Chain A
Amino acid sequence: MAMATTFQPFLTRNFGEPLALDVRWCLERGAYEGARKALAMPPKAVIEEVKLSGLRGRGGAGFPCGMKWSFVPQDTGKPVYVVCNADESEPGTFKDRALIDRDPHQLLAGIIIACWAVQAHTAFIYIRGEMVHGHAVLEKAVADAERAGVLGDTVLGAAFPLRVLLMRGAGAYICGEETGLLTSLEGNRGYPRLKPPFPAVVGAFGCPTVVNNVETLGNLPHIMVNGARWHASMGTEKSPGAKVFSLSGHVKRPGNYEVPLGTPLMDLLDGPGGGVGGTGRLKAVIPGGSSAPILTAEDCKTAKLDYESIAQHGSMLGSGAVIVLDDSVCMVDAIWNLMRFYHHESGGQCTPCREGTGWVEKTVARIEHGRGRMRDLDVLLETCDNMQGKTICVLADAAAMPLRSYLKKFRAEFEAHITQGKCPFG
């Protein structure tokens, strides 16, 4: 395949290298050169460079990174914070865990660049509670970096004090949503907040705050070293760069694979992924984490792994978690599993979400168990209507969007459950 010969992975280049945990080795290998280069530029110029690179957020929403930074006001008299979102909990996603465990200094270098760009002297890394190892890796990396003069009162010799503080979550998906994360960071239940104001203006502790995903930040050192043009030359015009895709489910070689955006979905699946696993016959693919609407095998033939192409196919690239389903999978059972997830993870603040996710879970369970009625299918869609766009954060939408898509693209399977009075898949 063409991509394998021309594209050099950079985000994952140290994945096989245990020495990447050693700050000395990283310094010798130039892991902090991008940060050094940024610190020699005016902050505004760094923001411009990142804007020019076209880098879009890798946490799920794909928002342009440089633009987000440019919303941070510099005249409030308050401190500015940078928060790294390492709560990785979108089902199917396991790239940030790998990026932290295997190359923590790439992340710290990215954090330095982001902090310089928005003039933040404190950064937080909010890591999910289950990732005990990742937390230990980061604790060591930060301590080593402080001893090596990479962080602390001066950063790489520049008179720019910067400290990085770690925070551990404790098992709540909702804390991955940026405002839920900030409320949690402040020591509360992770209840999301209304936007606006956006975190860039009123974020952590009432101060301007940039929230960026681990992978977004990991791109920055490479952009600073190689230049915005280099980054923009990869991928597509509107989705430049490369991305780590977490490939899982019925695939022969599951794992994290870094490919340029715009790579055909089937090239990822058949190339690094080794082809469809399980029965060997593809039924469907979830292209961007469990919140992403489902793609049929037919959709997959033309879908490319960039924000626009996946959107044209009615779904979203999201976090880049590609879950492969073979033809033994009951789609009602699959969406039941996910609706159970969203019900369990609803923060409970907003009625349409708290109650809606519960209703749809119960209704889908009833259909799966052969006790559904045709009417239920309309009730499900109506419930989606009452959930979407009616809550503080978009968790309700994240549940309703996939449900709608399964109902639309696999309606016959739902109907078969109802008419046969049992799950046809046994």
Chain B
Amino acid sequence: MPFELSERSRAEIESLIARYPTKKSCLLLALRVVERQQGWVSLDGMALVAAMLGLSPAEVYGVVTFYPHYKREVHGKYRLMVCGTLTCALLGMKRLVRHIEERLGVACGGARTADGLFSLEKVECIAACGGAPAIQINDQYHENVTPQKLDDLIAACRREHAAGGGPPMPPGPVRDEPARVAHFLPALGLGRVAPVGV
């Protein structure tokens, strides 16, 4: 079923258009509206935003793929983002990454767990160096993280999921993304269109 913007999402994007200097300047925030409603930013979502802002889908796709923070289909319901930059690296980041890889059976920067619950990636300094090593799980910061604390956090995610809570579950990689992109982006083929985020 193709994704549709809800009334609330549409109204929010309309209100951005009314307040920001140009339609295009609403793009980064409009994508966040899609991300909140859908749980990730899909190709359909990009096309809908493009239509509302009077942009080409190609332009929107080009923007989304520049910014690694948007959640996409490939990410897990719980996106584990371990800071890999210097201070965290000095204070135990590698141990955390290994621990998650072993616990969840995933590779850092690779595919998510088979149940779709978790994906693991290294990110760059998240401005939490005073609490290194630091990670983010979706929107939440966790500082001074230890393997023990990680186990607790992972268990908490599982409990939330089992209780029917948490954000929507992304569907996994879009198998025909290149073909679909080529279809709605005739002019593409330039720039960085590498897989996003991971």
Contact = CB atoms under 8 A, between A and B. Distances in A.
A binds B: yes
A189 interface: yes
A290 interface: yes
Contacts of A92: 86-87, 125, 129
Contacts of B37: none
B163 interface: no
Contact of B86 (A89, A204, A337): A337
27 contacts: A90-B125, A91-B87, A91-B125, A92-B125, A94-B127, A129-B67, A130-B123, A132-B139, A165-B19, A167-B29, A172-B66, A172-B69, A173-B124, A185-B25, A186-B24, A189-B62, A190-B66, A205-B21, A246-B129, A248-B87, A249-B86, A250-B90, A254-B129, A255-B130, A290-B85, A323-B86, A329-B90
Contact of A205 (B25, B89, B127): B25
A241 B145 CA distance: 35
Contacts of A248: 87, 129-130, 132
Contact of B28 (A93, A167, A338): A167
B80 to A, nearest CB: 14
Q: How large is the interface on B (under 10, 10 to 19, 20 to 34, 35 or more residues)?
A: 35 or more
B117 interface: no
Contacts, number: 140
Interface stretch (A14-22, A258-266, A341-349): A341-349
Interface string B127-147: 111111000100101000000
B192 A171 contact: no
B47 interface: no
A321 B150 CA distance: 27
Contacts of A345: 124
Q: How large is the interface on A (under 10, 10 to 19, 20 to 34, 35 or more residues)?
A: 35 or more
B96 interface: no
A408 interface: no
B68 interface: yes
Interface in A130-180: 130-133, 163, 165, 167-173
Contact of A88 (B20, B67, B87, B127): B127
A91 B69 contact: no
Given A89-B127, A341-B85, A187 B90 contact: no
Contact of B63 (A187, A255, A290, A329): A187
B124 A91 contact: yes
B90 A325 contact: yes
B165 to A, nearest CB: 18
